[in-house]
Amino acid sequence: MNWDQVEGNWKQFKGKVKEQWGKLTDDHLDTIAGRRDQLAGKIQESYGITKEEAEKQISVWERKQKDS
């Protein structure tokens, strides 16, 4: 997935991100603004998981988005 596209269309992706990671607040999503590293950090923080696990979850989510 091209993260430049995600950043450019962040408003459309916010809902999909919130579906996947419901603990992320609207404030978190506004701060992330489509940046993958910010998303990983907020997932790690909100779910108490490692950076590696957060990256793995994002990779799985990316593949699902490509298939949709």
Whole-number pLDDT of residue 54:
98
- Given a cut of 80, is residue 41 above it in pLDDT? yes
Q: Are 20 and 6 in contact (CB under 8 A)?
A: no
3-state secondary structure of 18: helix
* Domain limits for position 63: 3-67
- pTM for the full model? 0.90
19 burial (CB, 10 Å; 0-12 / 13-18 / 19+) is exposed
| Mean pLDDT, residues 47-59 taken together | 98
CATH of residue 34's domain is: 1.10.1470.10
Q: For the chain, what is the domain count?
A: 1
Whole-number pLDDT of residue 37:
96
